[in-house]
Amino acid sequence: MAAPQYLKVASAQYPIGQPASLEEWEAKITHWVANGAATGAELLVFPEYAAIEQAACFGPSVYKDLNTTLERVAELADQRVALHAALAKTHGVHILVGSGPAKHSDGRFVNAAQLVTPTGKVGVQEKLIMTPFEHNWGVTAGSPLRVFETALGKLAILICYDSEFPLLARAAVEAGADAILVPSCTERISGYFRVRTGSQARALENTIVTVQSPTVGDAPWSPAVDFNVGAAGIYVPPEHGVSDNGVLAEGILNAEQWVSATADLSALRRLRTSGEMRNFGDWPSQPGAEPLKHTVDVVKLI
């Protein structure tokens, strides 16, 4: 199968609300997916911990307690993915489902994002490096790092904090990734800019496109996602003929919106050997750059 030339992607600036029921939550997601697909995008990206919004459906006895929130939202994972898979089929799009807790057989909780295709296939990426809040919350590091082979190209997912670690992205790109999706959830403007900076740096280092999708808005009912700051962005290396500033598209800070763009994957591949700079090829020139310690699973979703 020939490598796709373009990637049409839409990134959500998704507002955390307080749905009174699962039916209300499902209606919201259905509306958001329809609007995302209306941009013409083939891939829709939702943010980190968007799934926590479901805890509101069960009242304060659930949403005010972090541990109970983890339990109830994790129980809904299969139902949540099934809804997105049905919507992906309806609209003919791939969807990165907003991440949420998943419970392992040993009782550990991880932060997992699911990539669903229009044909119903599902890939899962767990967050690899925990923030201090997640450590305190009892969410643990998952594994392994994966690259998903799709009809749109090879996609990797670095959830929020993971995007700030260059060797994770490099391992994914060496395994073939054309794009890295970065779902994020940050409570301060400084946090948003850390993830944005990481996303832009990973695009520059690896000559790829990165896509950041944040939660936005205040949700004082939840101790987990109470404050949310950010803007969606679609980033590439700053290179003549591709993008002068490395930003294909970006949203209005904290607005509720979709941000969309078309990335020229074939042009990015050419830049690796013919660009103004050759960051991808010159990576091994750094002291200590090789060998990489991270192994990558390549998962077919075609």
Tell me which residues are annotated as active site: 48, 127, 160
Instruction: Tell how far CA 124 is from the center of its chain.
Output: 11
Which is it for the CA torsion 152, 87, 230, 102, positive or negative?
negative
Query: How far is it, in rounded angstroms, from Cα 279 to Cα 139?
Result: 35
Query: How far is it, in rounded angstroms, from Cα 286 to Cα 42?
Result: 36
Alpha-helix runs per DSSP H in 119-179: 132-137, 166-174
Alpha-helix runs per DSSP H in the chain: 22-38, 60-63, 66-75, 77-91, 132-137, 166-174, 189-206, 265-274, 279-282
Residue type, 99: S
Tokens of 47: 């943010």
Query: How far is it, in rounded angstroms, from Cα 145 to Cα 127?
Result: 9
DSSP character for 237? -
Burial of 92 from C-beta contacts in 10 A (0-12 / 13-18 / 19+): exposed
User: Are 179 and 166 within 8 A, CB to CB?
Assistant: no
Tokens of 215: 């939660």
Tokens of 54: 């479901």
* Closest to 158 (Cα-Cα) out of 187, 200, 190, 122: 200
